[in-house]
Every structure is written in C-alpha cells, then in structure tokens.
Amino acid sequence: MATETKEAQATLSAAYPRSARINARGAIEVGGCDLGQLARELGTPAYVVDEQDLRSRARAYLDAAQRVGLPEVAVAFAAKAFPCTAVLELFAAEGLWCDVASGGELALALAAGFPAQRVILHGNAKSRPELERALEAAIGLIVIDNFDEIARLGELVGRRSDGEQQRVLIRATPDVAGQTHAKISTGQADSKFGFALEDVPAAIEAVRATPGLQLRGLHAHIGSQILSLEPFGAIAEALAPFAPMPVWDLGGGLGVAYSADQQPPAISDHVATLAASAREQLGEHELLLLEPGRALVANGCVTIYTVESVKRNVSLYVAVDGGMSDNLRPMLYGARYEAALVERPGGECECVVAGKHCESGDIIVPHARLAEPRAGDILCTPATGAYTFAMANNYNGALRPPVIFCAEGTARVVCRRETEQDLLARDVR
C-alpha cells in the first residue's frame, strides 16, 4: 500500500481529486473506482466525481469560516460552476448557501433542497419572471445590479399584500482588476456588472426609498481563477466608503491548480484574508458572505474519454470521443489541462489531445505527454469539475456526458448521458 501511495504522488499532480491514486493494476482510480473499468462499464466521455473531495473542500471552507469566529462567515456555492442537482444536493447537505445567477439555477437550487433563505440571486439582466419567482420563493437575498432593476423590483414588491420586505444587496463594480483572463475578469471599472462606484450612493438612496425593499449591504466579485491573495484584500478597501452595512458579500474567484506548476492559495488563507480585510476595512457587520464556485468543484472531477485515433500530421494527434462539447474552456479561454492514459499513466510521448468536433481549434490539451497512445486507450483530463458540465453543449449532435459519483469503490450515475431522443425532445411537429 505504502509504495502504491508513493507512486501515485509521484505521478498524479495536485490537479487530480484528493482520492486519486494509481492502483495495483497500474491504473488511475478515483474514489476507489478504477477509471479504465468505469469507462468500459459506463461508457465515455464521462465526468467522474470524487464525492468525498467535494465534501472535503466544502468542509475546508466551513472550518475556516468557523475559525474566523464573529462576525459570522457564510459560504455560498456558486451554482454556475457545476449546476448538477446531485452536486447541489451535496453542498446543501454540507450546510452551504447557494449563489444562483438565473431563474433556471434558482429552480435547481430549490429542487436540490437549499433553504430559500440561504439562496442569493445574482444577474445583470434579471427578467420580471425571474424576480417574481425569487419573491415568491422568499429567497434570502437579491443582489441588485442596476437602476432599472430597482424600479422593476420596486414595482413587484409594491404589489405584495403580505407586507414582507425583500432583503437585497447592491452590487458595486469595485475597480479592482482580478489579475486573470480578460473574459473572466469582472471587477474592472468598465464592466457590465454592478454599479460604478460613483453611482453606489444614488443606488443606496434609491433602494432605501423603495418600500418593500430592505438594504442589507453590498456585494462585489472581481473575477475568477485568481491565483494570488492580493486582489482579494483590495475588495473590502474599495467598498469601505459605504460602511457600515450589516452584510458584505465579497464574491468568489479563488483559483485552482489545473497543472502541476499552478499553486493556488489555500482555502483557509482565502477565507482568512477576506475576513481580516472585512474586519479592518468595513468595521462592524453581522455577516460576511463568500461565493466560491471553482475552488469547491474543479479538482474533484476528471473527464474520461476513449482514444479513437492516433496519427501524425507534423504533430502527433490523439483524437478522443469528446472535446469542446464537454469542455469549452480550452477554446474560450485558452485554459490548460493535463492528460494521462488511465491504464498507463506517465510517459514522454509529445502529443496533441484533440476533440472530435469540426473545428481546428477543438484541442483539449495542446502539449500532452502520454505513454505511446493507441486507439482504444482510455484517457483522462483532471480538474474538470468547474464550468465544463456547466457549459457543455450539443455541437455536432454531441450527447452531453453523464456525471458519475465515486466513493469508497462504488460508482453511481447521478446524471445520465443524453440520448438521441433528448436531441429530438424539443421538436414541435
């Protein structure tokens, strides 16, 4: 056993789920399930989730929040990162709150069992039906993004007969650059999200003047996949002119390791930094909210594929049975992933792991090192829990992959693979 563990540590980087190891057969396993066997039993492509990994990261957040003591820190899972009901149920059971960004995510969060009071609704273009649904469900907080929304929400709460007030936050654009990819940086001044800092006082006044709305505090989110703590400390500083407020929501954004060379800050340090900056900059408050998405789910999942062909066209192309339909991130953001053959991890053969879609840009890993790949091999890419299932699509008629939870050697499908009937299901004849 001891040698196996050592070998696993030598071969599998921090990008893999916590339980990932190389078993006696020399194959990668996750949650005690052999990925090669899993592929043969349940098919590929598939998202394989280490259930315990997700739980342990939720607990890392909650433990760190507990250590902060008072004022209370609550942790909301950003549902957009992995909007699979079973994932939401797991985090609801762990005691997290839930951040949703649309009516659809709101429906998922409620169906997964989050108490409505622990749900926070975001969005820069919330529709009337979305707001109505949020009021009807009596969710904890609505995060107001713009003046039109104050008017729309004011009108809707004005019609209520129960006299209940809706608690709201105001989203500010803090002018703190997230130091990340431009497409996922949200805190800069020229952004489609939130109120410009100079408009925040007028927004506060407008909300306070609206009967039926109760202003609880402010929110800012600076971006995603942020690998240093420094920009996080700056959020509270930017919001300080609006203190005191009972509630501060400082968003998500903590980065993760997609490959061996990336070293994200620890969850505990992330929480401690935000809590300390809130205490120093924002003075007395009742509640600090954090909204991690990626940091809770990215590393707990690997995607498994079958290699369909291997050929040399200058580069050695290893083509698999998935691609931009199950992981859009390499194409959208130039995101980097690792790859390994699950039954022969390691190896030095330089190759390009390509998807099956009709686009030259459908490359999953441009510089992979594999052990002599052959058609029929099972290949995995680790750290695919965040924004992959979430952004999966049916390009080229691809059937979106299942989600398989693995724990203690048992695998269970928690979201089935799409079928051709699903592709036809919306047709009206």
Q: Which long-range CB contacts under 8 A does 78-81 form with residues at least 24 apart?
A: 78/252, 78/291, 78/292, 78/293, 78/294, 79/105, 79/108, 79/109, 79/293, 80/105, 80/293, 80/387, 80/390, 81/293, 81/294, 81/296, 81/297, 81/298, 81/385, 81/386, 81/387, 81/390
Minimum Å gap between C-beta 293 and ligand LLP is 3
**Closer Cβ to ligand LLP, 225 or 303, answer by number:** 225
Region 121-160 residues binding ligand LLP, contact defined as CB under 6 A: 122
d(CA 178, CA 223): 5
The residue within the footprint of ligand LLP, chosen from 55, 167, 216, 221 (CB under 6 A), is 221
How many Cβ atoms from other residues are within 10 Å of residue 218's Cβ?
26
Residues 6+ away with beta carbon under 8 Å from 76: 96, 97, 98, 99, 118, 120, 289, 290, 291
Query: Closest CB to ligand LLP among 216 and 221?
Result: 221
Residue 99 makes contact with ligand LLP by CB under 6 A:
yes
One of 140, 194, 252, 373 touching ligand LLP (CB under 6 A): 252
Q: Is 324 in the site for ligand LLP (CB under 6 A)?
A: no
The site for ligand LLP, by CB under 6 A, has a size of 20
- Please list the active-site residues: 358
Question: CB under 6 A: which stretch of 230-238, 287-295, 305-313, 408-416 binds ligand LLP?
Answer: 287-295
Q: Is 231 in the site for ligand LLP (CB under 6 A)?
A: no
- The rounded distance, in Å, linking the Cα atoms of 412 and 237 is 46
Closest approach of ligand LLP to the CB of residue 275, in Å: 17
Asked if 47 and 306 touch (Cβ cutoff 8 Å), the reply is no
Residue 117's CB is within 10 A of a number of other CB atoms, namely 12
According to CB under 6 A, which one of 13, 146, 173, 224 is a site residue for ligand LLP? 224
Instruction: Output 36 or 45, the one with its CB closest to ligand LLP.
Output: 45
Backbone phi, then psi, for 305, in 5-degree steps? -130, 165
Instruction: Write out the binding residues for ligand LLP, residues 166-185 only, by CB under 6 A.
Output: 184
Quick one: which of 55, 57, 285, 294 contacts ligand LLP (CB under 6 A)? Answer: 294
Among the listed ranges 20-28, 110-118, 286-294, 372-380, the one in contact with ligand LLP (CB under 6 A) is 286-294
Residues contributing to the site for ligand LLP (CB under 6 A): 78, 81, 99, 122, 184, 221, 224-225, 251-254, 291-295, 329, 333, 387
